[in-house]
Amino acid sequence: MSKFPDAVKFVDLSDKKINLKSNSVDSRFLSPKAIVEDLSSRGINHIMVEGGPATALAFLRNNLVDRAIIVKAPIQFKDPVPSSISEKEICQAGLVKLGQMDSGGDTIEWWSRPERAWPISDDSLWWP
Protein backbone atom coordinates (compact mmCIF):
# COMPACT_ATOMS: atom_id res chain seq x y z
CA MET A 1 0.00 0.00 0.00
CA SER A 2 1.32 3.44 -0.94
CA LYS A 3 1.99 6.00 1.80
CA PHE A 4 0.53 8.68 -0.47
CA PRO A 5 -3.18 9.51 -0.68
CA ASP A 6 -4.90 8.48 -3.91
CA ALA A 7 -4.96 12.14 -4.98
CA VAL A 8 -1.15 12.39 -5.07
CA LYS A 9 0.24 12.31 -8.59
CA PHE A 10 3.86 12.77 -9.59
CA VAL A 11 4.41 14.65 -12.84
CA ASP A 12 7.65 14.65 -14.81
CA LEU A 13 8.10 17.95 -16.64
CA SER A 14 11.73 17.35 -17.58
CA ASP A 15 10.93 17.25 -21.29
CA LYS A 16 8.65 20.31 -21.21
CA LYS A 17 9.70 23.86 -21.93
CA ILE A 18 8.90 26.12 -19.01
CA ASN A 19 8.59 29.85 -19.67
CA LEU A 20 9.33 31.69 -16.48
CA LYS A 21 9.98 35.34 -15.83
CA SER A 22 12.87 36.28 -13.63
CA ASN A 23 12.30 38.11 -10.39
CA SER A 24 11.91 41.83 -11.07
CA VAL A 25 14.14 42.63 -8.10
CA ASP A 26 17.06 40.44 -9.18
CA SER A 27 17.15 38.84 -12.63
CA ARG A 28 19.32 35.97 -11.34
CA PHE A 29 16.34 34.51 -9.49
CA LEU A 30 13.08 33.07 -10.76
CA SER A 31 9.84 34.52 -9.48
CA PRO A 32 7.98 32.04 -7.24
CA LYS A 33 4.72 33.52 -8.49
CA ALA A 34 5.74 32.87 -12.13
CA ILE A 35 6.63 29.26 -11.25
CA VAL A 36 3.23 28.69 -9.63
CA GLU A 37 1.40 30.40 -12.52
CA ASP A 38 3.23 28.28 -15.11
CA LEU A 39 2.47 25.04 -13.27
CA SER A 40 -1.14 26.08 -12.73
CA SER A 41 -1.52 26.69 -16.49
CA ARG A 42 -0.52 23.03 -16.93
CA GLY A 43 -3.21 21.86 -14.50
CA ILE A 44 -0.81 21.37 -11.59
CA ASN A 45 -2.31 23.04 -8.55
CA HIS A 46 -0.45 21.34 -5.70
CA ILE A 47 3.33 21.42 -5.49
CA MET A 48 5.91 20.57 -2.87
CA VAL A 49 8.78 23.01 -2.61
CA GLU A 50 12.03 21.88 -1.04
CA GLY A 51 15.00 24.12 -0.70
CA GLY A 52 17.02 26.25 1.59
CA PRO A 53 15.90 29.28 3.53
CA ALA A 54 16.08 31.67 0.56
CA THR A 55 13.70 29.49 -1.48
CA ALA A 56 11.30 29.01 1.42
CA LEU A 57 11.34 32.72 2.26
CA ALA A 58 10.63 33.70 -1.35
CA PHE A 59 7.51 31.50 -1.46
CA LEU A 60 6.40 32.66 2.02
CA ARG A 61 6.79 36.35 1.19
CA ASN A 62 4.74 35.89 -1.98
CA ASN A 63 1.94 34.24 0.07
CA LEU A 64 2.26 31.06 -1.99
CA VAL A 65 2.49 28.61 0.92
CA ASP A 66 -0.66 26.84 2.09
CA ARG A 67 1.05 24.29 4.35
CA ALA A 68 4.55 23.92 5.76
CA ILE A 69 6.51 21.28 7.62
CA ILE A 70 9.49 22.79 9.39
CA VAL A 71 12.23 20.59 10.84
CA LYS A 72 14.59 22.19 13.34
CA ALA A 73 17.70 20.17 14.12
CA PRO A 74 19.78 20.83 17.24
CA ILE A 75 23.06 21.23 15.38
CA GLN A 76 25.31 24.22 15.01
CA PHE A 77 27.38 24.90 11.91
CA LYS A 78 30.83 26.45 12.11
CA ASP A 79 29.74 29.20 9.69
CA PRO A 80 25.93 29.20 9.90
CA VAL A 81 23.79 30.79 7.20
CA PRO A 82 20.93 32.63 8.92
CA SER A 83 17.55 31.57 7.60
CA SER A 84 15.70 34.83 8.37
CA ILE A 85 12.58 32.70 8.80
CA SER A 86 10.91 33.31 12.12
CA GLU A 87 7.53 32.39 13.54
CA LYS A 88 6.54 36.00 12.90
CA GLU A 89 7.49 35.66 9.20
CA ILE A 90 5.47 32.45 8.91
CA CYS A 91 2.45 34.02 10.62
CA GLN A 92 2.69 37.08 8.33
CA ALA A 93 2.40 34.65 5.41
CA GLY A 94 -1.02 33.65 6.79
CA LEU A 95 -0.05 30.33 8.38
CA VAL A 96 -0.94 29.08 11.87
CA LYS A 97 0.93 26.40 13.78
CA LEU A 98 -1.16 23.25 14.04
CA GLY A 99 1.28 21.29 16.15
CA GLN A 100 4.77 20.07 16.77
CA MET A 101 6.52 16.90 17.86
CA ASP A 102 9.97 15.65 18.74
CA SER A 103 11.59 13.13 16.43
CA GLY A 104 15.00 11.89 17.52
CA GLY A 105 16.02 15.29 18.85
CA ASP A 106 14.65 17.25 15.90
CA THR A 107 11.61 19.47 16.40
CA ILE A 108 9.02 19.09 13.66
CA GLU A 109 6.32 21.74 13.28
CA TRP A 110 3.39 21.71 10.92
CA TRP A 111 1.71 24.91 9.77
CA SER A 112 -1.30 25.61 7.56
CA ARG A 113 -3.59 28.36 6.39
CA PRO A 114 -6.67 28.36 8.65
CA GLU A 115 -8.99 27.58 5.72
CA ARG A 116 -6.88 24.57 4.62
CA ALA A 117 -7.37 21.34 6.51
CA TRP A 118 -4.29 19.20 7.03
CA PRO A 119 -4.61 16.34 4.48
CA ILE A 120 -4.22 13.51 7.01
CA SER A 121 -5.17 13.81 10.66
CA ASP A 122 -3.30 10.72 11.90
CA ASP A 123 0.36 11.77 12.45
CA SER A 124 1.62 8.23 11.93
CA LEU A 125 0.31 8.21 8.35
CA TRP A 126 2.00 11.34 7.05
CA TRP A 127 5.33 11.34 8.84
CA PRO A 128 7.87 8.58 8.21
- The CA distances from residue 27 to 32, 49, 84, in Å, are 13, 21, 21
State the pTM of this model.
0.71
CA distance 26 to 23: 5
Q: What are the residues whose beta carbons fall under 8 Å from the beta carbon of 54, sequence distance 6 or more? A: none
pLDDT tens readout for residues 36-66: 888 888 888 888 888 788 888 999 999 999 9
pLDDT tens readout for residues 71-112: 888 888 888 777 788 899 999 999 999 888 898 899 999 899
- Let me know the angle formed at the C-alpha of 99 by 3 and 88, rounded to the nearest 5 degrees: 120
- Let me know the angle formed at the C-alpha of 90 by 48 and 61, rounded to the nearest 5 degrees: 70
